[in-house]
A = this chain, B = another copy of it.
Amino acid sequence: MSKILIWNEYLHEVENKSVANYYPNGIHGCIKEFLSQDSTLNIETATLREENNGITEDKIKDCDVLIWWGHKAHDEVLEATVNRVQKRVLEGMGLLILHSGHHSKIFKRLMGTNCNLTWREYGEKERLWICNPGHPICEGLDAYFELEMEEMYGEPFQVPSPDETLFTSWFEGGETFRSGLLYKRGNGKIFYFRPGHEAYPTYLDKNVQKVILNAVKYLKPSKKIWEDIHSPTPKSNRPKPIEPISKKGFSVGHPTEE
């Protein structure tokens, strides 16, 4: 069993009837529904305006993969939430960042760059080409798949060079975009997947659902977490010398000892 947590900003669906038509139970509800067909997944959800943004220490501590959708209220995400998620990613939790999550605090925190891109909300066709048909995240896909209406995202996408580029997109209006990027930070695998604007029924698409299910399996940590990862100065971080040596010079001391 894997434990999956789907986080959603959950504002557009509440405030806009057209969005709610596509996602009556929220984008998180829609994703939960199609992932639930896989009986090895234990799925929970959380949303922005719950206490602690819905992400308590308890809820995340044994989470295998966190899915993140946010758009217009990135600033409402608490620093404590970002810290909590980053901590778990470094330990090994997988993180799937969807669409406008490219500007979320947690993605920018993990990337170290501004994660900017160009965009146009015009309901245009997106065609996603598979750059590595042999990758587990691309399993079951054809050479490409199409979404009839999507928001355009264009280069330059200002992120560090990824470990691997799995998709590149072609947009009806003429742009291209690197739309599936893999990273590792600490022991956590991170996948950025471009599609999913709230104004279109993207998460009802069978290929998008396939990618998300594949990603959730791929991002799962392969090992129990490494617990010592966070402490800047556990005892084991000031080890005794192994070779016989004598102290030279004077000591100033480390700030963490003071």
A242, B16: Cβ atoms closer than 8 Å: no
Q: With A169-B176, A222-B136 known to touch, is A230 a contact of B116 (CB < 8 Å)?
A: yes
Q: With A118-B236, A149-B249, A226-B133 known to touch, is A160 a contact of B185 (CB < 8 Å)?
A: yes
A71 to B135, CA, bound (A): 29
The contact of A113 among B12, B114, B160, B185, by CB within 8 Å, is B185
B174, A242: Cβ atoms closer than 8 Å: yes
Interface residues of A in 199-247 (CB under 8 A from B): 199-200, 218, 222-223, 225-226, 228-233, 236-243, 245, 247
A200 to B247, CA, bound (A): 13
Contacts of A96 in B (CB 8 A): none
Q: Mark A145-170, 1 if CB is under 8 A from B, else 0.
A: 00011001011111011111100111
B127, A242: Cβ atoms closer than 8 Å: yes
B164, A161: Cβ atoms closer than 8 Å: yes
B248, A149: Cβ atoms closer than 8 Å: yes
A158 to B131, CA, bound (A): 8
The interface of chain A, by Cβ under 8 A from chain B, is 12, 16, 18-19, 71-74, 86, 90-92, 103, 109-114, 116-124, 127, 129-136, 139, 143-144, 148-149, 152, 154-158, 160-165, 168-170, 172-178, 184-187, 197-200, 218, 222-223, 225-226, 228-233, 236-243, 245, 247-255, 258
Where chain A touches its partner, the secondary structure class is loop
Q: With A112-B185, A232-B103 known to touch, is A155 a contact of B173 (CB < 8 Å)?
A: no
Q: With A134-B187, A176-B168, A242-B174 known to touch, is A121 a contact of B254 (CB < 8 Å)?
A: yes
Contacts of A124 in B (CB 8 A): 241, 245, 247-248
B172, A155: Cβ atoms closer than 8 Å: no
A199 to B248, CA, bound (A): 10
B178, A223: Cβ atoms closer than 8 Å: no
Q: With A163-B161, A223-B136, A241-B172 known to touch, is A249 a contact of B200 (CB < 8 Å)?
A: yes
The contact of A112 among B112, B127, B177, B197, by CB within 8 Å, is B112
B123, A249: Cβ atoms closer than 8 Å: yes
A237, B173: Cβ atoms closer than 8 Å: no
Could you list some 17 contacts between A and B, CB below 8 A? A16-B252, A113-B185, A114-B229, A114-B232, A119-B233, A119-B254, A120-B238, A121-B253, A123-B247, A123-B248, A123-B250, A127-B242, A131-B178, A139-B223, A165-B165, A168-B178, A200-B249
